[in-house]
């Protein structure tokens, strides 16, 4: 089979059968691309996972782009990336067409009110998982606490301040601390 | 022009979405609210739908929001925009800038970004849970049913983890919450 077709179909399969986002997908990509197809090595897979964590965007997309590029250059990267997007695009597009009518049923609307509560809890749970993995040093802790407090104020008082500005500020503080070389005795704070 | 707005809005999301799907949710919420594309309710519903359907959550949300604002073309534009930055960055990193990410200044920036994302996600989670139970400052609304469901879901999550020694899957939690919602709000 043509390698581009193979990349597209393989990643479409991965995209269609993984629920629960990025990390579930990494396991599947490892299984298929490293062990079955031998498109990339285990070390490269580890590498790309680290890169994916330091670059923005969905992790699954990062992995697909990387594998496709390794295997067949730019065209390969395109084929793999499209492969992983197309299934979820199709499913969600269909849902988006019907969801509004669906929500007019009282039973479904009530179920979704319950689901809304679960989503809040899931986000909280994700935050705690990330917190556990965070470096236990003063500066990251201070940045984390300040961003959390600032974001809470923004939400509670519906302030018009975007989380992107908050991220840029945190990046600037961290870079500033590094350049000035005051990291070891940094007392934190000022990371609004 | 709505297509251009969708493209720019989701390009921003794609550029700043560090920390996986949940890291991106506060960002998407921000963009969606500032353009007034969806109400908070619908957005929350769609987060649950995205979690329960295959594919990356960020891509799912982009597709849905695009489609709700400008039909099929909107869905295509928003999806491409959210994916484009990571696609380009990975191409750059793998082909040209293998060492760029190891650069000490880049590392210093990342060390600041990661805890900030965690703080933002934490704040969003706390806010959403509180808002469901007690309403907002401008529209307080203590909802006993919501508080009961929140308590039950926390109990289910911690109980499962304690007795089964593994995490309750997000999809299971969503299914439980849907059943509870249909029962409790239906009474």
**pLDDT, tens digit (0-9, with 9 covering 90-100), for A80-101:** 999 999 988 998 888 888 877 8
**pLDDT, tens digit (0-9, with 9 covering 90-100), for A33-74:** 888 888 988 778 777 777 777 788 887 888 889 899 988 999
What's the CA gap between A20 and B14, in Å, rounded? Answer: 19
Q: Is B59 on the interface with A (CB under 8 A)?
A: yes
**H helices present in chain B, as ranges:** 2-16, 20-35, 40-52, 57-95, 104-134, 144-164, 170-184
The answer, yes or no, to whether residue A20 has pLDDT greater than 70, is no
To the nearest whole Å, the CA of B23 is away from the closest chain A CA by 8
Q: How far is CA A169 from the centre of its chain?
A: 21
Closest CA to A24 of A63, A71, A54: A63
Answer yes or no: is B99 within a domain.
yes
The more confident residue out of B57 and B100 is: B57
Structure confidence at residue A60 (pLDDT) = 82
The answer, yes or no, to whether residue B68 has pLDDT greater than 60, is yes
Extract the tokens encoding A14. Answer: 């991965």
Tell me the residue range of the domain where B22 lies: 2-142
Contact assignment for B60 to A92 by CB distance below 8 Å? yes
Q: C-alpha distances in angstroms, B166 versus A4, A23, B122, B138, B159? A: 39, 16, 22, 39, 10
CB B78 within 8 A of CB B62: yes
> What residues of chain B, 25 to 54, have a C-beta less than 8 Å from chain A?
25-27, 30, 34, 41, 44-54
**pLDDT, tens digit (0-9, with 9 covering 90-100), for B122-157:** 988 898 899 888 887 777 888 889 999 999 999 998
What's the CA gap between B128 and B69, in Å, rounded? Answer: 24
The pTM (predicted TM-score) of the whole model is 0.78
Question: Residues A107-132: what's their mean pLDDT?
Answer: 84
Answer yes or no: is B64 within a domain.
yes
- Looking at the predicted complex, does its ipTM rise above 0.90? no
Answer yes or no: is B98 within a domain.
yes
Structure confidence at residue A110 (pLDDT) = 87
3-state secondary structure of A187: coil
**For residue A14, what is the enclosing H or E element?**
helix A3-17
Query: What is the rounded average pLDDT for all residues in chain B?
Result: 86
Extract the tokens encoding B132. Answer: 């469901």
Total of domains in chain B: 1
> What residues of chain A, 28 to 47, have a C-beta less than 8 Å from chain B?
none
pLDDT band at A185 (very low <50, low <70, confident <90, very high): very low
């Amino acid at each position: 089979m043509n390698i581009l077709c193979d990349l597209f179909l393989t990643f479409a399969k991965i995209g269609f059968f993984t629920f629960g986002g990025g990390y579930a997908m990494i396991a599947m990509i490892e299984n298929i691309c490293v062990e079955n197809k031998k498109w990339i090595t285990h070390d490269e897979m580890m590498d790309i996972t680290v890169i994916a964590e330091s670059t923005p965007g969905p992790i699954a997309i990062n992995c697909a782009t990387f594998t496709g590029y390794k295997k067949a250059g730019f065209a390969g990267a395109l084929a793999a990336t499209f492969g992983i997007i197309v299934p979820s695009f199709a499913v969600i597009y269909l849902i988006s067409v019907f969801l509004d009518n669906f929500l007019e049923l009282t039973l479904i609307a009530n179920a979704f009110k319950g689901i809304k509560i679960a989503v809040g809890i899931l986000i909280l749970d994700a935050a705690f998982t990330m917190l556990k993995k965070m470096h236990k040093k003063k500066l990251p802790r201070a940045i984390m606490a300040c961003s959390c407090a600032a974001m809470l104020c923004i939400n509670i008082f519906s302030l018009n301040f975007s989380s992107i500005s908050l991220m840029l500020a945190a990046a600037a503080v961290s870079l500033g601390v590094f350049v000035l070389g005051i990291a070891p005795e940094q007392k934190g704070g000022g990371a609004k | 022009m709505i297509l251009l707005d969708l493209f720019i809005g989701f390009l921003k999301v794609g550029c700043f979405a560090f920390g996986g799907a949940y890291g991106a949710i506060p960002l998407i919420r921000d963009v969606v609210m500032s353009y007034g594309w969806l109400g908070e309710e619908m957005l929350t519903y769609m987060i649950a739908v995205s979690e329960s359907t295959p594919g990356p959550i960020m891509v799912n949300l982009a597709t849905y929001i695009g489609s709700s604002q400008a039909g099929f073309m909107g869905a295509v534009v928003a999806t491409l925009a959210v994916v484009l930055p990571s696609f380009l960055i990975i191409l750059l990193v793998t082909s040209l800038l293998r060492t760029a990410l190891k650069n000490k200044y880049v590392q210093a920036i990342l060390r600041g970004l990661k805890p900030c994302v965690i703080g933002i996600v934490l704040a969003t989670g706390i806010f959403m849970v509180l808002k469901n139970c007690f309403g907002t400052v401008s529209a307080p609304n203590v909802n006993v049913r919501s508080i009961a469901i929140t308590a039950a879901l926390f109990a289910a999550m911690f109980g499962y983890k304690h007795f089964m020694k593994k995490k309750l899957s997000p999809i299971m939690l969503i299914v439980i919450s849907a059943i509870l919602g249909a029962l409790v709000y239906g009474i």
